[in-house]
């Protein structure tokens, strides 16, 4: 009984500590005030806790949930698209609604999972690339602050990879404490507080932010989350309940600043694997425990936001970049795995990483469009070349 409880505590702490700074930075990038960002972090923690506890108890399988880390990275990349948080919230709601529709409409689920891997992975890599450059930039611009963070991350990554990012975060907190003293605590709203945000639905923001958020959350988080569960022997996963529940909570939580939540992958590997319990039928205890821990972590959302807001933005992005390195490696590897699609992947990556904004629509959307066009064009050219070569082979055979 103790083993799954420990796994639940470790999984929740790891999931929170690894990327909470990324979530706050992302929300701030699209116009959230510190109070709204704290509210967003709080509602995400509470939503994850509720759905993990309810579904784990209902189905007796380890279902853990997390905020969309690629989605938070997307928010940082979309800072040039909108600084109006009300419009961003409208896009969050649309993204959550699309996840609900995906759960209710199996054909859409199949369509999303069939987005060509080179395009989906390259888009995610393009989103993550500028963030993963932050440790390099910060080491040059703020060496006295950034280098201790990078060094601790590197040392721990070689010894205990799971604790590399949490360890770097601890060093970041110490660095901020030295640089800012205690002034960042005074005047900050550190008590749990939900701030209601009236949404506005701007078509350009929905296209440039809402649709890419839906795609990266599904392709970058939900699909790998299902794969992790299958890896550990959970073949009968309630996909409809997971997608409808997480989508509805994402759309509802958007009214209080949350961007998106989804089935977990990293914490799922901790809580659904054999380290949680040798008996698969007992591992749901870990995710239920993790949900309870997330409630406690959510209570500290205001303090976490005040801490992040007191630090140089580049320093926070440094921690986020270190946390996303693994995801960048995975997405780059997946995008370039098939030689015939490498040009498609590179073109998609370059368009997304460029950060361009055309007619008010950001680069992730244009990366999908351009990547799709290039893929269709090259496929047509290959078919055309094949048709031309067939008569030549037939003539040679006849001769």
How does pLDDT run across 184-194, given as a tens digit for each residue? 555 555 677 89
Indicate yes or no: pTM above 0.85: no
Q: Average the pLDDT over 136-161 and give the result.
A: 91
Judge whether residue 395 has pLDDT over 60.
no
Judge whether residue 283 has pLDDT over 90.
no
Q: How far apart are CA 222 and CA 108, in angstroms?
A: 14
Q: How far apart are CA 90 and CA 209, in angstroms?
A: 10
pLDDT, residue 42, reads 94
Give the DSSP letter of residue 262: E
Confidence grade of residue 182 (pLDDT, cut at 50, 70, 90): low
Q: How far apart are CA 186 and CA 172, in angstroms?
A: 19
Q: How many residues in total does the chain contain?
A: 399
Structure tokens at 160: 């205990």
Judge whether residue 107 has pLDDT over 90.
no
Decide: 281 and 60 in contact? Cβ < 8 Å: yes
Burial of 239 (0-12, 13-18, 19+ CB in 10 A): middle
Give the DSSP letter of residue 221: I
In this structure, what are the phi and psi dihedrals at residue 263, rounded to the nearest 5 degrees? Answer: -65, 135
Judge whether residue 318 has pLDDT over 70.
yes
The residues facing 66 across adjacent strands are 262
In this structure, what are the phi and psi dihedrals at residue 65, rounded to the nearest 5 degrees? Answer: -130, 160
Judge whether residue 205 has pLDDT over 80.
yes
Give the helix/strand (H/E) hosting 156: helix 143-159
């Amino acid at each position: 009984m103790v083993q799954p409880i420990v796994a639940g505590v470790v999984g929740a702490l790891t999931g929170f500590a690894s990327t909470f700074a990324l979530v706050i930075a992302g929300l701030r990038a699209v116009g959230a005030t510190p109070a709204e960002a704290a509210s967003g972090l709080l509602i995400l923690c509470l939503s994850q806790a509720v759905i993990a506890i309810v579904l784990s108890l209902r189905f007796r399988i380890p279902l853990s949930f997390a905020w969309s880390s690629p989605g938070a990275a997307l928010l940082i990349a979309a800072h040039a698209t909108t600084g109006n948080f009300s419009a961003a919230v409208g896009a969050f709601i649309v993204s959550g609604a699309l996840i609900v529709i995906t759960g209710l409409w199996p054909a859409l689920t199949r369509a999303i999972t069939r987005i060509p891997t080179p395009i989906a992975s390259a888009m995610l890599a393009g989103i993550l690339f500028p963030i993963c450059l932050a440790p390099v930039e910060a080491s040059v611009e703020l060496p006295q602050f950034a280098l201790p963070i990078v060094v601790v991350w590197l040392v721990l990554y070689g010894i205990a990879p799971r604790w590399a990012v949490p360890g770097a975060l601890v060093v970041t907190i110490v660095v901020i404490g030295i640089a800012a003293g205690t002034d960042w605590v005074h005047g900050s709203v550190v008590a749990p507080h939900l701030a209601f945000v009236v949404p506005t639905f701007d078509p350009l923001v929905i296209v440039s932010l809402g649709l890419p958020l839906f795609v990266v959350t599904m392709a970058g988080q939900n699909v790998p989350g299902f794969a992790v569960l299958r890896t550990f022997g959970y073949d009968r996963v309630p996909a409809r309940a997971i997608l409808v529940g997480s989508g509805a909570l994402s759309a509802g939580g958007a009214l209080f600043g949350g961007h998106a939540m989804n089935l977990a992958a990293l914490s799922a590997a901790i809580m659904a694997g054999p380290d949680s319990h040798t008996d698969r039928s007992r591992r749901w205890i870990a995710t239920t425990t993790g949900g309870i821990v997330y409630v406690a972590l959510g209570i500290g959302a205001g303090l976490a936001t005040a801490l992040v807001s007191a630090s140089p933005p580049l320093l926070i992005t440094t921690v986020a970049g270190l946390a996303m390195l693994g995801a960048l490696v995975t997405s780059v590897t997946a995008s370039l795995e098939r030689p015939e699609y490498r040009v498609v992947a590179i073109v998609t990556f370059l368009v997304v990483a460029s950060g361009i904004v055309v007619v008010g629509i950001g680069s992730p959307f244009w990366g999908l469009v351009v990547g799709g066009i290039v893929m269709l064009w090259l496929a047509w050219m290959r078919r055309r070349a094949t048709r031309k070569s067939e008569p030549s082979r037939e003539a040679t055979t006849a001769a």
